[in-house]
Amino acid sequence: MSGILEGKRVLISGVLMESSIAFHAAKLAQEQGAEIILTAFPRPTLTERIARKLPKPTKVIELDVTNDEHLGRLADIVGEELGGLDGVVHSIGFAPQDALGGNFLNTPFESVATAMHVSAFSLKSLAVAALPRMGRGGSIVGLTFDATVAWPVYDWMGVAKAAFESTARYLAKDLGPQGIRVNLVAAGPIRTTAAKSIPGFDEFEKIWDERAPIGWNVHDPEPAARGCVALLSDWFPATTATIVHVDGGVHAMGQ
């Protein structure tokens, strides 16, 4: 029996460690029949080492989503490697330390601007850069952290995620006529590289321990990765501008 991504060509960003959601999305995508390409920044060599743990060899290309030159050459590189694209996974986020950890009232705009550029505007940038290689039936999937509420210590990254979620909706509106879907997976907290950069991350673990009705494992990124792979597949042909929550149910629980 063939996999649900058989014959698909997928670009995946954000593979930094074996514990990352993006790594597990890449692994599952390959297992489900996809041919993939990875993007990395600022250390492509690190991603190349991690990529060796995937089931099949894959190309790693350097991509700074704030660099117009990098974005401008992406379509050509993808064309040479894969010929075209059927899916894109956006798993990129960054905020300076002074934009996190309870410093909301004192964060300078320069740090906020960096967080917004890398963590929100980049979804549009990556989508537009990939667009020349995508056709009807294509799927763009991004990873978010529920931005409908204010979280402890998340501060301006939470604001950036709210902008990210809004960006996905506008992309879905503008790319829909071309047959391209745009959806997000709102994952619960996972002990990833990004999580380690958030001061006070343990507070998230406490919230999920107390409120997830079916439980939640902060060391298991595979459920979120499965959500990404499902949205990349043809099993959601009429779903766009949607946030799929893979968080143990916490988003629907009261205090």
Give the catalytic positions in this structure. 154, 161
Dist CA 220 CA 21 (whole Å): 9
Q: 10 Å Cβ neighbour count for 67?
A: 13
Structure tokens at 220: 């298991």
SS3 state of residue 41 = coil
Report d(CA 163, CA 45) in Å as an integer. 31
CB 112 within 8 A of CB 104: no
Contact (CB, 8 A) for 163 and 44 = no
Residue type for position 132: P
The two structure tokens encoding residue 128: 């537009």
Six-digit token pair at 224? 């979120």
Type of residue numbered 217: N
Three-state DSSP class for residue 186: strand
For 187, phi and psi rounded to 5 degrees?
A: -90, 150
C-alpha atoms less than 13 angstroms from C-alpha of 191 in its C-beta half-sphere: 8
Mark out the alpha helices in the chain (DSSP H runs). Answer: 21-31, 44-51, 68-81, 109-116, 122-130, 155-175, 193-196, 202-211, 222-232
**DSSP assignment letter at 48:** H
